[in-house]
Structure 1
Amino acid sequence: MNALDYFNARLEATISPMDYLKLAQVDPDKHFLIDVRNGPNHVRNLTIKDAHVIPQQELHNRLHEIPKDKEIIVYCWDVWCNTAAKVAKFLLERGYKVKELTGGIAAWKEMNFPCSDLSQNVNMSDNCGC
């Protein structure tokens, strides 16, 4: 693979926080954002505003919640985490159109973009699955 092919593939498979925020403001119904992070509640209580929380470990049982008619954007912790890439691959294999949010929740928070605090949500599973 040459450099041009690499960067074209990378741009096709990912979206930056800034680009996602702009697109979501223009057409909020086009995308379905999923927080796929695993881990205990106290470390994942902050999520991107309007994200659907479907941890990777619950994905098989909750696949019916993910619409096929929208572009799916998945994110995890940071650039060192590959959970979102694993979920993206899983969803792509099942016919979804998917991109990974680069930098995960860490990049989003670093840019001071809108977040939601889920610490009051009693329905969050505290089973890490790690």
Structure 2
Amino acid sequence: MMERIEYFKARLEANISPMEYRRAKEENPEGYLLVDVRVGPEEIKKEKLEGAMVIPLTELQERMSELPKKKTIILYCWDTWCTLASKAAVLLLENDYDAKELYGGLAAWRTLDFPTLPLPEITSSSTERSLDCEC
């Protein structure tokens, strides 16, 4: 059974806070890539973190080749309760990428009033959508 100290060390190694990410990106702009892996209907995915690439978890396996192996991939999802970024990190780590999860996802980023960008408007005429985000 994992001791608590080992758990917390592993957790710190696997995650990065929004503040730590911004500091690391400032020090090494080419060393990191932010990736939005959120899944859900477009009407609730209204924004993304500034500088983020959008690859929903459901498309990650097929689009993995778009990600550079020489950068640390910082994955984010909705909030602390969402597991999409963790699932994405496991997939990337299993495929020899360097990946970390952004603590708190979009919610933490917004709470800190860090910049976001709007996502394109919905073009689908469908009014009935599932709210299942697959978290």
Q: TM-score, normalised by structure 2?
A: 0.87
For 1:78, the equivalent position in structure 2 comes to: 79
Ranges in structure 1 where 5+ consecutive residues have no aligned partner: none
For 1:24, the equivalent position in structure 2 comes to: 25
The amino acid across from 1:57 in the alignment is T
* Deviation, structure 1 residue 7: 1.3
For 1:34, the equivalent position in structure 2 comes to: 35
> What's the secondary structure of 1:63's corresponding residue?
helix
Which whole-Å CA distance do the structure 1 matches of 2:77 and 2:40 have between them? Answer: 11
* Deviation, structure 1 residue 119: 2.9
Query: Runs in 1 of length 4+ with deviation above 6 angstroms?
Result: 126-129
8 Å CA contact 1:76–1:104 kept in 2: the answer is yes
For 1:98, the equivalent position in structure 2 comes to: 99
8 Å CA contact 1:57–1:129 kept in 2: the answer is no
Which whole-Å CA distance do the structure 2 matches of 1:121 and 1:73 have between them? Answer: 26
* 1:73-115 Cα distance to aligned partner (Å, 9 max, x none): 1010001100110010011000011100010100000100011
* Deviation, structure 1 residue 42: 1.6
* 1:45-77 Cα distance to aligned partner (Å, 9 max, x none): 211000000000111221110110100110100
Which whole-Å CA distance do the structure 2 matches of 1:25 and 1:47 have between them? Answer: 19
Q: TM-score, normalised by structure 1?
A: 0.90
For 2:7, the equivalent position in structure 1 comes to: 6
The amino acid across from 1:50 in the alignment is G
> What's the secondary structure of 1:87's corresponding residue?
helix
Ranges in structure 2 where 5+ consecutive residues have no aligned partner: 124-128
The percentage of counterpart residues that share the same residue type is 45
RMSD: 1.9
